[in-house]
Chains A and B, each alone.
Chain A
Amino acid sequence: MVAIEREHAPATTAASADAIPLRLRRGSGSPRQVFALTLIGAIVLALFASRDLTSWLNRFDDGPIIAPLQHVATEWDDAMATLGLVAPHEGLRLAIHRLLDWQWSDRR
Chain B
Amino acid sequence: MLFPTSGFLLFFLVVAAAMMLLETRFEAKKAVLVLASYYFYAQWDWRFCFLLAFSSALSYGAGRLIGATADQGRRRLVLGIAITLHLGLLGVFKYLDFFVLSANRLAALLGLSHELPFFEVLLPVGISFFTFHGISYITDVYRGDVAVCRNPLDMALYMSFFPQLVAGPIVRAAYFLPQLARPSKEPIPIAPALILILGGLFKKVVIANYLATGLVDPVFAAPTSYGAPDLLLAVYGYAVQIYCDFSAYSDMAIALAALLGFRFPANFNQPYRAERLREFWQRWHISLSTWLRDYLYKPLGGNRHGRLKTYRNLMLTMLLGGIWHGAGWKFVAWGALHGGGLALERLVEPWLGRHSQTKAARVIATFILFHFVCLAWIFFRAEDFAVARLYIAGFGSGWTDGLQQAGPFMVALILIGMVGQFTPPALFERAAAALGRMPSWGLGATAGIVVAAINALGPEGVAPFIYFRF
Give residues in A with beta carbon < 8 Å to B.
3-11, 14-20, 23-45, 47-49, 52-53, 55-56, 59-60, 88-90, 92-93, 96, 99-100, 102-104
Minimum Cβ distance to chain A for residue B237 (Å): 14
Given contacts A6-B70, A19-B254, A42-B9, contact A104 B407 (CB under 8 A): yes
> What chain B residues lie within 8 Å of A43 (beta carbons)?
448
Q: How far is the CA of A19 from the CA of B254 in the complex (A)?
A: 7
10 cross-chain CB contacts under 8 A: A5-B64, A11-B146, A11-B174, A18-B265, A19-B169, A20-B192, A40-B448, A47-B448, A55-B460, A89-B455
Please provide the chain B residues from 6 to 35 with a CB less than 8 Å away from any CB of chain A in the complex. Answer: 6-7, 9-10, 12-13, 16-17, 19-20, 23
Partner of B147, one of A7, A49, A100: A7
Given contacts A20-B258, A35-B19, A88-B453, contact A10 B174 (CB under 8 A): yes
Q: How large is the interface on B (under 10, 10 to 19, 20 to 34, 35 or more residues)?
A: 35 or more
Minimum Cβ distance to chain B for residue A106 (Å): 8
Closest to A60 in B: B7
Q: How far is the CA of A20 from the CA of B188 in the complex (A)?
A: 11
> What chain A residues lie within 8 Å of B17 (beta carbons)?
35
Closest to B12 in A: A38
> What chain A residues lie within 8 Å of B447 (beta carbons)?
37, 41, 44
* Shortest beta-carbon contacts, A-B, top 6: A44-B448, A40-B444, A16-B265, A29-B188, A37-B444, A48-B452
> What chain A residues lie within 8 Å of B267 (beta carbons)?
19
Give residues in B with beta carbon < 8 Å to A.
5-7, 9-10, 12-13, 16-17, 19-20, 23, 64, 67-70, 140-141, 144-148, 169, 172, 174-175, 177-178, 186-194, 196, 210, 214, 250, 254, 258-261, 263-267, 286-287, 290, 294, 402-403, 407-409, 412, 429, 432-433, 436, 440-441, 443-445, 447-449, 451-453, 455-457, 460
Partner of B266, one of A18, A38, A92, A103: A18
Which interface residue of A8, A88, A104 has the most chain B CB atoms within 10 A?
A8
Given contacts A59-B5, A102-B409, contact A45 B457 (CB under 8 A): no
Contact B187 A39 (CB under 8 A): no
Which interface residue of A11, A20, A32, A43 has the most chain B CB atoms within 10 A?
A20
Contact A25 B189 (CB under 8 A): yes
Q: How far is the CA of A41 from the CA of B193 in the complex (A)?
A: 14
Q: How far is the CA of A88 from the CA of B448 in the complex (A)?
A: 13
> What chain A residues lie within 8 Å of B169 (beta carbons)?
19
Q: How far is the CA of A16 from the CA of B19 in the complex (A)?
A: 27
Minimum Cβ distance to chain B for residue A19 (Å): 4
Minimum Cβ distance to chain B for residue A13 (Å): 9
Contact A6 B148 (CB under 8 A): yes
Contact A96 B457 (CB under 8 A): yes
> What chain A residues lie within 8 Å of B12 (beta carbons)?
38
Minimum Cβ distance to chain B for residue A49 (Å): 4
Contact B175 A14 (CB under 8 A): yes
Contact A15 B67 (CB under 8 A): no
> What chain A residues lie within 8 Å of B449 (beta carbons)?
44, 48
Q: How far is the CA of A68 from the CA of B65 in the complex (A)?
A: 54
Q: How far is the CA of A96 from the CA of B409 in the complex (A)?
A: 9
Contact B259 A92 (CB under 8 A): no
Contact B407 A24 (CB under 8 A): no
Contact A3 B210 (CB under 8 A): no
> What chain B residues lie within 8 Å of A17 (beta carbons)?
265-266
Contact A33 B440 (CB under 8 A): yes
> What chain B residues lie within 8 Å of A30 (beta carbons)?
23, 187-188
Contact B263 A18 (CB under 8 A): yes
